[in-house]
Chain A
Amino acid sequence: MGISIFQFFPTDNSSIQQILSLIFYAIFFFYLFFGQQLQVQRILLSISGALNKIKDAQDRSRREIIDFLQKNDYKGDAISHINTLIEYFTISPVDLDPTGLVKKIEHILSVRDERIRGEVRSMLPEKDALTISILENLLEIAAALNVYYKVVRHYYLIGKKTSNLYLLMQLQMVLPDLLREVEALVSAIEPIKNAQPIGDGIGPMVAGRLLLNSEKKQIARDTIFGEVNYKNRVLYVIKAEGPAGNVGQPGNAIEYLISNYGLKPAAIIMIDAALKLEGEATGEVAEGAGAAIGGIGVDKYKIEEIASKNNIPLYAIIIKESIVEAITCMTKEIVEAIPKVLNRIDYLLENRTKEGDSVIVVGVGNSIGVGQ
């Protein structure tokens, strides 16, 4: 005997029919009046899970700094020192009158950098530049994770307090991307602690390859340069000073070479890692025009300003990678991009400059684990 679906939904006035109708109406009215609260609770649960993950990441970054300090014989009150540095903030200058804004940003950033570096040096006074830079980078990671945690917690608590479904939905929508960035920051701790090159270091790696066997001089804070005779041209190769974790000041370095050194370059070639779009291959090399440099924009502004004022062509060569690859240990695919970048430089030199010309080549990025 077959079972008919109508047996579950009888059409007569039996007691089963009445119970089923009652259940249906109960569910219908429950969702009508309490559906939003139910959704709020469901989203709060999923955000609280993500918040715990961010908290774990934040705690781990602090633990790593404490371990690092202990390994380097720090005897003071590590926790209060770390908290002060992690909570250190920077106030952006007023932008109502944008004239001279970059100069003000540069000044404030330089005050912040000097303050943090001074504090880190006072914690480990007898340690070398590499150890100091590792601690600075670890503190930057911890400070970023601290901001992620506090901002997500802020919106989570506001959403919970006001049962604001739309606020919570917005937070839930951005959470996957936020967690990816948190994951990237956590994965960056290990390579930075061990001073291993990161994906962002591909620019300094290419510059370091060009600088092999040449004399290097300091040109700006944490920045070195060297003169290289290559394909009958003189290359002025600039990179952040490694193997410490520096990004240097390429803007100041180029400015110095042109304004103080009297250099009249036929071109400026900038090499940097760039974020790829989903679907693009890691280590893909592309060429374009403009200043290939990230950050707040101080160096970019300076380079664009000096290049346009002196009518110097500005070429960019980028190596594509994801945000996770950019701040975690270097991958083989990115390393394999070096010969391709060198081929592009050769092509630009042969086709866009003449023999005897001077050319500035800048390897942009964090030089951790990359010497010269």
Chain B
Amino acid sequence: MANLFKGQKQFKVVTIEECLSCKLKMKRPFKINDYVYKEGEMCQKCGTKMIISAIYKEELKY
């Protein structure tokens, strides 16, 4: 979508999944229906269910 204001930066939104047992963190692009504290995927390290611990935007660098 075109920017109305000059100098607006472009961002991508990322989702952080965190394992509460082994503290492993995984970063992936945001998907619709993601929300903070929703159950995520299985932890690749210890096999427990991860949670979405954060969703934030990151500046796109070209």
Chain A interface (Cβ within 8 Å of chain B)?
Answer: 53, 56-57, 60, 179, 183, 186-187, 190-191, 194-197, 201, 205, 208-209, 212, 242-243, 328-332, 334-335, 338, 369-372
Contact = CB atoms under 8 A, between A and B. Distances in A.
B5 A183 contact: yes
Interface string B10-54: 010100100010000000001011111110000000000001001
21 contacts: A56-B4, A60-B4, A183-B5, A186-B4, A186-B5, A191-B13, A194-B30, A196-B13, A196-B30, A197-B55, A212-B51, A243-B38, A329-B57, A330-B55, A331-B56, A331-B57, A334-B56, A335-B16, A335-B56, A338-B54, A372-B37
A369 B58 contact: no
Interface of B: 1, 4-5, 8, 11, 13, 16, 20, 30, 32-38, 51, 54-58
Contacts of B58: 332
Contact of B36 (A183, A186, A370): A370
B57 A330 contact: yes
Contacts of B4: 53, 56-57, 60, 183, 186
B26 to A, nearest CB: 15
Given A242-B37, A369-B35, A369-B55, 12 more contacts: A183-B4, A183-B5, A187-B8, A195-B35, A196-B13, A197-B36, A208-B36, A209-B37, A329-B11, A370-B36, A371-B37, A371-B38
A252 B11 CA distance: 38
Nearest to B30: A196
A183 B4 CA distance: 8
A205 B36 contact: yes
A190 B4 CA distance: 14
Contacts of B35: 195, 197, 242-243, 369-371
